[in-house]
Amino acid sequence: MSRWEYFLRRLLLSIPVVFFGATATFVIFRFGPIDPAAAIVGEAATEASRESYERTREQLGLTQPVTDHYVEYMRDLFLLNLGESWVISPGTSTVDLITTYAPRTLWLGFWAVLIPIFVGIPLGIYAGLNANTRIDYAISMFGIVWRAMPNFWLAVILLVVLSQSGQLFGFSWPDFLVDTPVTGTPDLSALGSPSGFAAATKQILPAAVVLGSASMGSELRIARTAVLETINSGYVELAKANGVSQRSLVWKHVLRNTLVPLVPTITNEAFLLIGGSIIVEVVFGIHGIGYLFFQAAINGDLPLVTALVFVFVLVVVAMNLLQDLLYVLIDPRVGYDGR
């Protein structure tokens, strides 16, 4: 079937992409502006520090010829042998660091993707189905405002409002339902229990709302446009003229066609979350992978930075594959005459 052939092709094509991404990371590490060994050891003023600098260079593989180093480096990356952190947490393997920090970011990203999908898209679809009414104008305005507010600003404002919600509204956010602090890393160890799940969700929610805010705005706008486009299409008019029921018209003929332009929007917005999570995690004091990356970068922990960049490359490629998979599932035209 040509749809699945198409997907298989995309899958195979992602291998050179990962390869190229890994090579780019190597170039940053080896030829970038920061000497990794110098960043780890610091000023090489004394004889002892010069010695430790040389030793570090050797351990990092910087003394080998470039080609040998490259081959070894790539082999390690693809075996997920990502080395150790040197500055942030000396001696800890980066894989351990990532498995500790990543779930918090995944939890944040999960909600930051869900909120736009379950709030933004339904609102946009409703606005599109009721185009040019007051409620449509209200929803569209809401979408534009939400889209326009910058993350760092919204994060700070939300922090201020929530931490003082007791005085401002007579309703205390920290005490609401379950006791949680406004900032800090959520405890994901008790996700299985209802109270643990509630606490972890509640604590991540403000950060997730901020992180998902822009996506929500743009997904709302695109959902509205997509619905309008579909409603005015020939096949909806013909279905109507042929007496298809109103319910089938909306649920079968309009909604699925609306998804076609929405899928790339959702996945593209999810890429942005990787960048956005760095700011939001820092403001909300969540020790996630974005926070880890930020710390590693400003402290020049280049082995950790390269490992994280490689992980980000893998995530982006995986998201792209997910997008292709969704396309294949939704649209039968994919792969048809597309080669």
Binding site for another protein (CB under 8 A): 233-246, 248, 252-253, 256-257, 260, 330-333, 336
In the complex, the smallest distance separating the C-beta of residue 129 from another protein, rounded to whole angstroms, is 13
Nearer to another protein, 187 or 237 (CB): 237
Q: For every residue of 268-291, which 3-state class applies, written as one string?
A: HHHHHHHHHHHHHHHHHCCCCHHH
222: CB partners within 8 A, 6+ apart: 124, 261, 262, 265
Nearer to another protein, 153 or 251 (CB): 251
In the complex, the smallest distance separating the C-beta of residue 248 from another protein, rounded to whole angstroms, is 7
Q: Does an H or E element contain 200, and which?
A: helix 194-231
In the complex, the smallest distance separating the C-beta of residue 290 from another protein, rounded to whole angstroms, is 37
Measure the CA–CA gap between 140 and 144, rounded to whole angstroms: 6
Amino acid present at 75:
R
Measure the CA–CA gap between 123 and 208, rounded to whole angstroms: 18
In the complex, the smallest distance separating the C-beta of residue 252 from another protein, rounded to whole angstroms, is 8
Nearer to another protein, 47 or 337 (CB): 337
Nearer to another protein, 1 or 79 (CB): 1
Q: Does an H or E element contain 61, and which?
A: none
In the complex, the smallest distance separating the C-beta of residue 230 from another protein, rounded to whole angstroms, is 9
Residue whose structure tokens are 């009721």: 130
Nearer to another protein, 77 or 326 (CB): 326
